[in-house]
Structure formats: structure tokens, C-alpha cells
Amino acid sequence: MARRSFSSASSGPSLWVWLGVALVVILLDQLTKTLILGDFRYGESRTVTSFFNVVRVHNTGAAFSFLAGASGWQRWFFVGLGAVASAVIVWMLKKHPGQKLFCFAIAMILGGAVGNVIDRLIHGYVVDFIQLHYAGSAFPSFNVADSAITLGAICLVLDELLRVRKT
């Protein structure tokens, strides 16, 4: 019986490895959001440290609550945008399986995007719960999916800097 390998010497990890990375992000994101929904009332906040709170907030907009005040069309716009972005990312993962940092970056972005799309489909908003603050000012609340997207974006920039440096 032939054994199927998840990676080869020439191409690196297969599409399934990168989709597995995205799935881990989705599962962690949804697990943490489920815990917050079960243990916190809307708006409830608990202090963890002098600069970090856990708070339950709902974001109907995009990053930093962009378009949160719109009349509701943004829910389906962001669901559609997430679906299109996910399809493009899967295509890019298939096309460039050997570019490990690049694939890690977009797998993180994929997992985060799908995690937030799931929220929009189920709740009509994204559940955010991580709040950082200092000296009376608070950074907009975010979640595991947002963190994965941010890490993915940082890795994309790093990947590009390393690629340019090689040429």
C-alpha cells in the first residue's frame, strides 16, 4: 500500500498541512468565543492585569469597528468578502506549497477570516473579548481570529522583505 506524504523535498508541506493550520486557528477562535458567550454578559468586563481585560463586545463592522454603524448590509458584505478571500487564499496555498513562511502567513489569515465569518453567519456580529489598555486609553477589543490575521500580515511583510533581500 502506497503511503501518502504530507510533504516532499521539492515542494514542502502540502495544501492539507496549511489547511490544518487554518483549522486549528478556527477551532481555537470558536472555542474562546464560545467560552466568552457562555461566561460573560454583553459589555461585561473582568480585569486580568493592569493593562489587560477580558470583555464581551460585539462588532458588526470590520477592523476597529469600521462600518459598525451601517444599516446591516455590512454583515453580508463581510461574509462575501471573507468567502472570496478564502477561495483566493486556498488557490494561493495550492499554487505555492513550498513557500513555507508565505503559506503559514496566509493560512493564519485564512483561519482568522473564516473564524470571523462564522460569527457573522451565526450571530450577525463578531465576538471580541481581548482588551488592552493603558493610562485610561483602550485599544479596540479583538479576538483570536484578529490576532491570527495580524500575525499572518506580519509574516507576509517579513516574507516579502526576506524575498527581496535574496534578489
Q: How far apart are the C-alpha atoms of 19 and 22, rounded to whole Å?
A: 5
Domain segments of the chain as ranges: 23-33+49-166
Task: Give the model confidence (pLDDT) of 103-115 as tens digits.
Answer: 999 999 999 999 9
Q: How far apart are the C-alpha atoms of 58 and 65, rounded to whole Å?
A: 9
Q: Residue 67: which of 126, 2, 16, 123 has the closest Cα? A: 126
Average pLDDT for residues 40-55, to the nearest whole number? 96
Task: Give the model confidence (pLDDT) of 106-150 as tens digits.
Answer: 999 999 999 999 998 999 899 999 999 998 898 889 999 999 999
Q: How many CB atoms lie within 10 A of CB 72?
A: 9
Considering only CA atoms, give the Rg of the chain.
Answer: 18
pLDDT at position 94 is 92
Task: Give the model confidence (pLDDT) of 81-92 as tens digits.
Answer: 888 999 999 999
Check whether 159 has a pLDDT greater than 80.
Answer: yes
> What residues are annotated to the active site?
128, 146
Contact (Cβ atoms closer than 8 angstroms) between residue 80 and residue 88: no
